[in-house]
Structure 1
Amino acid sequence: MLPCFLLFWIVLRCADSFSVRVPPGPVVVARGATASFSCEFEPDLNLSNLVINWQRVEDDRVVHSFYYEKDQLDRQSSDYVNRTQLNHDELAKGNASLSIANFGLKDAGKYLCTVSNGKGTGKGELQLVYAAFFSEPRLSIHLKSSDVTVQYEMESYPRPEILWQGSGGQNLTNHQEVSSASDGGLYYLKSSYVSQKSAFNVTFTLINPAAHQELQRHVILSYDENMNSGTSVVALSILCTLLLCSTGLLLWLYCRAKQR
């Protein structure tokens, strides 16, 4: 018969060996996507002893609970109602993976996975990071007598990195406006490049490190130096005259046909 102190030591060792494993680094989830993340533990074939509880670290809100061999959602935070799901097929394999549908900015933060079964109890903490892929930048060009402004507008999260470069790679970034993130979890950004020249070649680069997204757009503005304003006016006058003459001829032919 084992001495009491030895039996107690064995029990402590078994308890220490029970661990809960979650992703070690931050998990990036795109806006509107379904977040799915694992929580692994040493399985026990007797699921009647299994208790799983997911909750937010910041304020202890209950995200999802499982015990008595079924989901227990009476204490679930209203923020997660009808949005969470455990993969019940994986529970017997030691995986309490959780899914959160329609992930948004308010869902970002730290989550605690607590698991208890016949083999022990353990906890694991992980962090979810929210990111939104930026929309296709909308281009507009504003012409003035003194300068030309090229402007891009877009939405994303977090605040992206912006770079304007000349044809030689020189940094031309000189103006941008950013509004704070809205309830929808997006930054609205407006960035522009102003040139005193009527012809230029620039590259617009947009980087979203959190979403591992990068986009480049090239803007080339040129004009025909051989065409002066006088030539343009003469050409326009000739074109208008030809259009008027052709229109008058068509009307005259139409009236002649009606008379017949």
Structure 2
Amino acid sequence: MHDVTSSAAGTLITSNFTDQLQISVWEETVLSIHDGNAILPCHFFSGFLSHQIIVLWQRVETKEILWSYYHGQNQLNEQSQQYSGRVSLFPEELERGNASLKFENVKLNDAGKYMCSVRTPLENSTGILSLQIAAYYTEPSLRIVQTSNGTNFIFESRGFPEPTVSWLKDKHLDISALSETLCQLGEDGLYSVQSSLQINGTSMSSNFTFRLLNDVLQQSISWTFELSSDIDTGIENRYRWILLAVLVIAELVITAILISKKPVSLKPAK
């Protein structure tokens, strides 16, 4: 019999076979950070000595064995090599009904479903949960490229999963449709994101904001910069810039030297 009930801590999923043995998984999905650690929870109502308890952790999709415990000790002869040295039980907690698995150095390809099986002299039961992996996006780097049509501002960052990217003008006007964003999945499983916005002379007295959102981790990155110009009417808006970009904590500081008839400055918006 399979029961599902609600609690303040989340959804309690239980696999019921007898009144003596019941496995509880307090989270249907466990979220972990790439290269971080995770605890895959598995609890049962015990009342037995450790040598009477058998615990088996497996990956559902591949049937690979992460950890097995019986006869009062760990049994790792059939453990999959990719989990060797990265997973472990809490043996002192088994008699208290805690068969949770500690997962270290979690990778993106570890995402999937995992099954905890517990057997006692009376009965056996299983519980299944999902492991979701995400990676914080790196602080974006900025490249500025001058073209015949204007100036391209290009932000680049890496993380997981695919983010939501947007551009704003004067802090409220969404101009994302004017930008170009490319997301590519790398060999390490992380997304490389490149987003560019071309600005021409008609937008020289405005501020612009680049935003990147990692919904899974609720991570938000925002960079705002301001362009100002005192160019006289009738002067052709063709510029060649030599720019030195310096990133300081959460601010974007750019020093610009303009080769033109009138000066144009690029500075962080306040």
Which range, TM-score by smaller chain?
0.7 to 0.9
Which one-letter code corresponds to 2:214 in the other structure? N
Asked whether the equivalents of residues 44 and 117 of structure 1 are also in contact (C-alpha less than 8 Å), the reply is no
- 1:138-183 alpha-carbon deviations (Å, 9 max, x no partner): 0122223431211100101111110111115222112111112x23
2:60 aligned with 1:57: yes
Residue of structure 1 equivalent to 2:7: none
| Structure 1 residue 212, shift from structure 2 partner | 1.9
Give the whole-Å Cα distance in 2 for the aligned partners of 1:156 and 1:171.
Answer: 24
Residue of structure 2 equivalent to 1:44: 47
| Structure 1 residue 194, shift from structure 2 partner | 1.3
Structure 1 runs not aligned, ≥5 long: 1-12, 236-260
Asked whether the equivalents of residues 166 and 172 of structure 1 are also in contact (C-alpha less than 8 Å), the reply is yes
Asked whether the equivalents of residues 42 and 119 of structure 1 are also in contact (C-alpha less than 8 Å), the reply is no
Q: Which has the larger radius of gyration?
A: 1
| Structure 1 residue 14, shift from structure 2 partner | 7.3
Residue of structure 2 equivalent to 1:147: 150
2:117 aligned with 1:111: no
Asked whether the equivalents of residues 43 and 92 of structure 1 are also in contact (C-alpha less than 8 Å), the reply is yes
| Structure 1 residue 54, shift from structure 2 partner | 0.3
Which one-letter code corresponds to 2:103 in the other structure? I
| Structure 1 residue 37, shift from structure 2 partner | 2.0
Structure 2 SS opposite 1:106? helix
Give the whole-Å Cα distance in 1 for the aligned partners of 2:64 and 2:217.
Answer: 27
Asked whether the equivalents of residues 44 and 118 of structure 1 are also in contact (C-alpha less than 8 Å), the reply is no
Asked whether the equivalents of residues 20 and 46 of structure 2 are also in contact (C-alpha less than 8 Å), the reply is no
Give the whole-Å Cα distance in 2 for the aligned partners of 1:162 and 1:185.
Answer: 19
- Aligned ranges 1:1-260 → 2 under 5 Å: 15-16=18-19, 18-173=21-176, 174-180=179-185, 182-196=186-200, 197-199=202-204, 200-225=206-231
In terms of fraction of residues, the more helix-rich structure is 1
- 1:201-226 alpha-carbon deviations (Å, 9 max, x no partner): 11111111112211111121223437
Residue of structure 2 equivalent to 1:254: none
| Structure 1 residue 113, shift from structure 2 partner | 0.2
Asked whether the equivalents of residues 23 and 37 of structure 1 are also in contact (C-alpha less than 8 Å), the reply is no
Structure 2 SS opposite 1:90? helix
| Structure 1 residue 28, shift from structure 2 partner | 0.9
Asked whether the equivalents of residues 172 and 193 of structure 1 are also in contact (C-alpha less than 8 Å), the reply is no
Which one-letter code corresponds to 1:29 in the other structure? S
Asked whether the equivalents of residues 202 and 220 of structure 1 are also in contact (C-alpha less than 8 Å), the reply is yes
Structure 2 SS opposite 1:79? helix
Structure 2 SS opposite 1:91? helix
- CA change 1:233–1:138 in 2 (3 A) is closer
In angstroms, what is the RMSD of aligned CA positions? 2.5
- CA change 1:176–1:233 in 2 (3 A) is closer
Which one-letter code corresponds to 1:177 in the other structure? L
Give the whole-Å Cα distance in 1 for the aligned partners of 2:198 and 2:74.
Answer: 59
Give the whole-Å Cα distance in 1 for the aligned partners of 2:35 and 2:142.
Answer: 26
Give the TM-score normalised by structure 2.
0.75
Give the whole-Å Cα distance in 1 for the aligned partners of 2:83 and 2:52.
Answer: 25
Give the TM-score normalised by structure 1.
0.78
% identical equivalent positions: 30
- Bigger relative contact order, structure 1 or 2, given CA contacts below 8 A and separation 6+? 1
| Structure 1 residue 45, shift from structure 2 partner | 3.5
Deviates more, 1:76-85 or 1:37-46: 37-46
Give the whole-Å Cα distance in 1 for the aligned partners of 2:218 and 2:26.
Answer: 19
Give the whole-Å Cα distance in 2 for the aligned partners of 1:233 and 1:100.
Answer: 59
Structure 2 runs not aligned, ≥5 long: 1-15, 237-258, 263-270
| Structure 1 residue 198, shift from structure 2 partner | 5.0
Residue of structure 1 equivalent to 2:252: none
